[in-house]
Structure 1
Amino acid sequence: MASDVPMTPELEQIDGEIQDIFRALQNGFQKMDKIKDSNRQAKQLEELTGKMKECKRLIKEFDRILKDEESRNTPEVNKQLNDRKQYMIKELNSYVTLRKTYQSSLGNNKRVELFDMGAGSSEPTAEDNIQMASAMSNQQLIDSGRNQMDQTDEAIARSKMVVAQTVEVGSQTAATLTQQTEQMKRIGNELDSVHFSLKKASKLVKEIGRQVATDKCIMGLLALIVFGVIAIIVVKIVNPHNKSIPDIPGMAPPAQNFQTNRRLLSTRSFRGL
């Protein structure tokens, strides 16, 4: 099956490596019929098993890149790439079945682990489970089913725990948001009070300014009057005979009145004698 699907350079490289492995598997199984020694056949089968493991790894890498690029591709391209992946899986499964046939002919009842899940590897896919189930006995299938159920129960329990923790975190977040909302309301009320106080203080400052200006005017007029009176007094003292400046009451009584008073006092004194 020639690949006419549009691929990125990385996918094309992986696809090419997988096709090389398929050709090597085809040639290797053709040589199996020509090998008569069972030990050499077992060794050849072991080498082919290693190539199938590498092919499985490359298919997983192809699938990973395909999922990363799925959002950037059109639905048609994604469908073609998925079909290409399914073709690779079916092709590999055919060689897996062929390997099991040769393995049975060699009398090797020990199942060779094709998909070796080492530390840090991903969980088996649906295709892996189908391939492994075909080589299991009924008891092994039952045990595997029980293990799968136990793992499913554990996963459900973990999911419930995560959900409970999520609900608790959500409740705490809601309570925190409620407190923050109330605090924001209080801050808003305080800002309104501050704004009102500032407006009131501004009006009061303006009134005080007007009063101060009025007081300054009055004080200025009083100062002018005082300075005028002082100036008149000084001029009158310096030049008492200046007729252009009127006499200030109580400061300089007329001379004629003073002489008349002296005569009246003299007359009264004489009469008393």
Structure 2
Amino acid sequence: MADDVPMSPELEQINGEIQDIFRALTNGFQKLDKVKDPGRQSKQLEELTGKMRECKRLIKEFDRELKDEESKNPPEVNRQLNDKKQTMIRELNSFVALRKTYQSNLGNKRVELFDVGAGSGEPAADDNVQMSSAMSNQQLIDAGRKTMDETDQAIHRSKMVVEQTIEVGSQTATTLKGQTQQMERIVNELDTIQFSIKKATQLVKEVGRQVATDKCIMLFLLLIVMGVIAIIVVKIVNPNNKNIRDIPGLAPPVPGARRLLAVPPF
């Protein structure tokens, strides 16, 4: 059951207010069927519309609170709470559709009343002209001033709305400009980082080539040293080997060769 879903105290409070509004809407539409006067129907329909707006606001608040608590709840609880929210939305949409039906029926009734004409108690257009002509000059002036004051107030409200819109537009433009400059700085920093990465890659390649060259030279020297050591070892082991006589100091002495005598110091 959706009502058995565990909720935080905030969600329970919002859910309780929404359910109270749903009960009030149900009772209101049931009473609306018994009202025959179009004026009373229109007034009661406006009250029900206000309750629907309040219900919509509470559902949005329920959704915001649900998103704030989403990370704290298990996935199954989040799924049940989302199903609960969708149920509220569907129920509210059903009341909205019902309101549209009543508005349509109420509009048809008003058309019928206008068609009756003289049978109704409302004055016709000619009667209104006669009533205006029967007014005194001071009354006409007062009525005109009242209309002008209402018009001035409406113009003033429109100017305030325009000024607020311009201010919001200016703030938005300033914010967008700052974000654009920040994006440009980020792009420049990314270009610098990319250039540094390319430079570092080239340096690594050069160092690698130098290391490889040094290793080759060291290997070649090592081979030479090992060859000399091998010849020395062979000569020590086999001093009569004729294949290495050409190395100075390693060839065996030649018979009959002269030896230099050391001259004693005076």
Larger radius of gyration: 1
TM-score by length of 2: 0.49
Q: TM-score, normalised by structure 1?
A: 0.48
